[in-house]
């Protein structure tokens, strides 16, 4: 069904949005000229807004707010003539037109106030709006031979702090009369006005079931007419997606959060579906995310970098394009798109079907439906490990615990709090058989439904028992192991969050957590600084334990590795993993801002170099070679990576590179590059 998307790497997300107040609505739209421009720019798929958040329909609809022209009907045949696919975008549970006519269809809080995001109201999935929406989906699927459907604003995530994580929150509880009625029908009792934490868990799971049931109806409606169409939704397959029912993983990621884009892409690469990462084409940001409707286009270097990060993981970079509300498009936009897509078209043969080759497995075992209160902290901790390893150029996969762990030299389990007994046993068996585990925080302290256990389920592997929380809002970490002190730092490291108290049961201490002399208050500040450590109040901070033929190092705090305050923690995590790997698959002299990815594709190895420095908005160069990387050396254990021998090395598509083979290793110097280089070994 979704086979064609595995071959697609040049997609545009056309935000054709033209509200009622706009001047000359649709008068400047020219489907022929637009399709020609897409063809010249190298676009292979266009995702067209067929219905927007305002409720405007850009096709003849019997229900929605009608537009003066059939934009879908005009553009679709022109794209088909040029071999360009079209996916139909439909705004789902934002529709200000419908919820304005029927305010009783809105999701509301306990006071009856409507739930909204910026100017847009959330429609309740339990209301008759759901049938209204299914009718609109049926109209598009019946009338237009599109290649796929992309459904936006599907309420998925439990309300939790998300920072810049892109997944649509679900207002829980929804106290609309329709939701209250449906809840009573299903459970036999009414929605509590002041639900407890346990009740919120249950209400969220119930509401997720309602969304799941609706989405199954939507799939059936669309596939009745378009059985081969790709169907996906915003944040499909994300770590916080409680449904994971789409054909295509589709997650937003936005500049300048390049390491987060990499994290998203590496997560999606490890799943069993094709994936895309969507990024806005504009610079300005909005309360709802990236600059999706911004007319000031990003410089080419930024879009090139964002695209490179995704194709390095064998995914599809999808870039937003914003026309004017009258339907006109700025010709300069297509010049930039060509600078992104033409180079990708040249290297596509080295992208399709590529699989990662790695030393390390970073566990992300989030359970956003059954343990919804935990998914964000579990995801954030896996992302923290990613922040550390990407800088070290250590090759790693982001994995679930259903995979074969034996292929990894090291497995990292950072704050994966909600684990099933089966997942725990997989980790225990891995270490017992000789594997190396690095764990942190409250890993394994809850079961798969988020219920607390009396102790770590992996207490025997950690060599320590859980003993509560270190009684301080922050702690100091002091490294006592001489090697770590020399490789990381000998000064105290501030861990700006509470530590986990443990009692040792066989493990030995490598570092200590020290409580501050006083709690953090305005009265205890040292000229805006924190109270110093109280050396008499020490707890195990980093411990090491032998278990079976393997070993475990455990950090007694949740790790963070982003930004200046966490620089030493980031260095420590990277060093712990590097120590455990010992002889890595790949070594390079590339700077920490150059992301390096090793893939295997049939009988060849493909190494991607993505220069994150090229997209730094504070140091952005508009001279193409100003940030060129020169003299980057690469050393690769090609036999362990899966090649019997190396007979040729080149920069894709066809520039040969001199190399030397010493034993099982190949050594070479990467040709100068600015944003992205692809080195191939055959």
d(CA 507, CA 462): 7
The H or E element spanning position 616 is none
Question: How much is the pTM?
Answer: 0.96
Domains 3-350 and 586-681 fall in the same CATH topology: no
Q: What residues does each domain of the chain span?
A: 3-350, 358-581, 586-681
Give the pair of three-digit tokens for residue 57: 């329909």
Give the pair of three-digit tokens for residue 105: 């269809």
Average pLDDT of span 259-280: 95
Candidate CATH numbers 3.40.50.1240, 2.60.40.1180, 3.90.600.10, 3.40.50.300; the one for domain 586-681: 2.60.40.1180
pLDDT surpassing 90 at residue 94: yes
| Contacts of 524 by beta carbon, 8 Å cutoff, 6+ apart | 517, 518, 531
Q: State pLDDT tens for residues 176-212.
A: 999 999 999 999 999 999 999 899 999 999 999 999 9
* pLDDT band with cut points at 50, 70 and 90 for residue 525: very high
d(CA 639, CA 244): 36
pLDDT surpassing 70 at residue 2: no
What is the per-residue pLDDT for 619?
A: 84
The H or E element spanning position 133 is helix 129-143
What is the per-residue pLDDT for 287?
A: 54
d(CA 518, CA 523): 10
Rounded to a whole number of angstroms, the CA Rg of the chain reads: 26
Top pLDDT among 162 and 204 is at: 204
Q: State pLDDT tens for residues 452-485.
A: 999 999 999 999 999 999 999 999 999 999 999 9
Mean pLDDT over each residue of the chain, to the nearest integer: 95
Range in 288-302, 348-362, 551-565, 660-674 the model is least confident about: 288-302
What is the per-residue pLDDT for 621?
A: 79
Q: How far is CA 297 from the centre of its chain?
A: 23
Q: State pLDDT tens for residues 612-639.
A: 999 998 888 777 767 889 999 999 999 9
Q: State pLDDT tens for residues 328-375.
A: 999 999 999 999 999 999 999 999 999 999 999 999 999 999 999 999
Give the pair of three-digit tokens for residue 490: 């000998």
Could you tell me the sign of the dihedral formed by the alpha carbons of 461, 464, 469, 471, in that order? Answer: negative
CATH architecture of the domain formed by 358-581: 3-Layer(aba) Sandwich (3.40)
What is the per-residue pLDDT for 167?
A: 78
Candidate CATH numbers 3.20.20.80, 3.40.309.10, 3.40.1410.10, 3.60.21.10; the one for domain 3-350: 3.20.20.80
Q: State pLDDT tens for residues 401-435.
A: 999 999 999 999 999 999 999 999 999 999 999 99
d(CA 345, CA 368): 37
Q: At how many degrees (to 10) do helices 197-225 and 129-143 cross?
A: 30
Range in 66-70, 290-294, 594-598 the model is least confident about: 290-294
* pLDDT band with cut points at 50, 70 and 90 for residue 291: confident
pLDDT surpassing 90 at residue 649: yes
What is the per-residue pLDDT for 170?
A: 84
């Amino acid at each position: 069904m979704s086979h064609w998307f595995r071959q697609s790497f040049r997609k545009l997300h056309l935000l054709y949005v033209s509200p009622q107040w706009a001047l000359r609505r649709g008068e400047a739209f020219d489907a022929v000229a637009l399709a020609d421009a897409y063809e010249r720019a190298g676009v292979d798929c266009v995702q067209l807004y067929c219905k927007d958040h305002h409720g405007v329909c850009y096709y003849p609809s019997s229900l929605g707010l009608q537009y003066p022209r059939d934009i879908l009907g005009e553009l679709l045949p022109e794209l088909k003539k040029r071999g360009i696919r079209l996916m139909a975008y439909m705004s789902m549970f934002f529709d200000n037109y419908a919820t304005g006519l029927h305010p009783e269809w809105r999701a509301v809080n306990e006071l009856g106030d409507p739930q909204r995001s910026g100017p847009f109201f959330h429609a309740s999935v339990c209301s008759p709006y759901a049938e209204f929406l299914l009718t609109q989906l049926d109209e598009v699927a019946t009338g237009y031979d599109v290649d796929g459907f992309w459904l936006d604003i599907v309420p998925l995530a439990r309300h939790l702090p998300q920072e810049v994580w892109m997944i649509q929150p679900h207002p829980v509880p929804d106290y609309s009369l329709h939701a209250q009625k449906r809840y009573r029908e299903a459970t036999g009792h009414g929605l509590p006005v002041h639900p407890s934490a346990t009740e919120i868990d249950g209400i969220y799971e119930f509401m997720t079931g309602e969304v799941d049931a609706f989405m199954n109806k939507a799939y059936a409606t669309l596939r009745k007419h378009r059985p081969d169409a790709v169907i996906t939704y915003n944040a499909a397959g994300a770590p916080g997606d409680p449904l994971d029912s789409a054909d295509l993983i589709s997650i937003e990621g936005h500049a300048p959060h390049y390491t987060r884009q990499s994290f998203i892409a590496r997560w999606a690469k490890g799943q069993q579906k094709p994936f895309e990462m969507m990024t806005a084409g504009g610079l300005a940001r909005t309360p709802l995310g990236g600059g999706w409707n911004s007319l000031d286009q990003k410089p080419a270097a930024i879009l090139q970098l964002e695209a490179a990060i995704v194709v390095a993981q064998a995914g599809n970079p999808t870039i937003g394009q914003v026309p004017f509300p009258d339907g006109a498009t700025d010709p300069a936009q297509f010049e930039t798109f060509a600078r992104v897509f033409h180079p990708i078209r040249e290297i596509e043969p080295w992208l399709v079907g590529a699989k990662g080759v790695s030393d390390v497995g970073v566990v992300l075992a989030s359970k956003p439906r059954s343990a919804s209160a935990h998914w964000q902290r579990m995801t954030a901790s896996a992302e923290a490990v990613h922040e550390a390893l990407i800088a070290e150029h250590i090759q790693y996969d982001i994995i679930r615990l259903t995979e074969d762990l034996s292929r990894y030299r090291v497995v990292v389990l950072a704050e994966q709090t909600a684990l099933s007994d089966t997942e725990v046993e997989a980790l225990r068996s891995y270490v017992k058989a000789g594997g190396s585990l690095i764990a942190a925080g409250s890993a394994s302290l809850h079961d798969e439904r988020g219920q607390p256990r009396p102790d770590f389920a992996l207490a025997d592997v950690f060599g320590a028992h859980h003993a509560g929380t270190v009684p301080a809002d922050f702690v100091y970490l002091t490294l006592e192991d001489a090697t770590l002190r020399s490789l990381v730092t000998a000064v105290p490291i501030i861990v700006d969050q509470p530590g986990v108290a443990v009692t040792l049961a066989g493990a030995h201490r490598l570092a200590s957590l020290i409580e501050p002399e006083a709690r953090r208050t305005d009265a205890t500040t040292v000229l805006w600084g924190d109270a110093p450590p109280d050396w008499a109040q020490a707890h195990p901070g980093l411990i090491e334990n032998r278990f079976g033929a393997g070993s475990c190092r455990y950090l007694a705090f949740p790790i963070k590795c982003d930004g200046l305050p966490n620089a030493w923690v980031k260095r420590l995590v990277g060093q712990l993993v590097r120590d455990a790997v010992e002889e890595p698959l790949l070594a390079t002299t590339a700077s920490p801002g150059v992301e390096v990815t090793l893939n295997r594709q049939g009988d060849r190895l493909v190494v991607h170099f993505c220069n994150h420095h090229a997209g730094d908005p504070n140091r952005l160069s508009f001279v193409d070679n100003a940030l060129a990387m020169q003299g980057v050396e690469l050393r690769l254990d090609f036999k362990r990576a899966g090649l019997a021998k190396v007979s040729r090395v080149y920069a894709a598509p066809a520039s040969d590179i001199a190399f030397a083979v010493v034993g099982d290793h190949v050594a070479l110097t990467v040709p100068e590059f600015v944003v992205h280089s692809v080195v191939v070994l055959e």
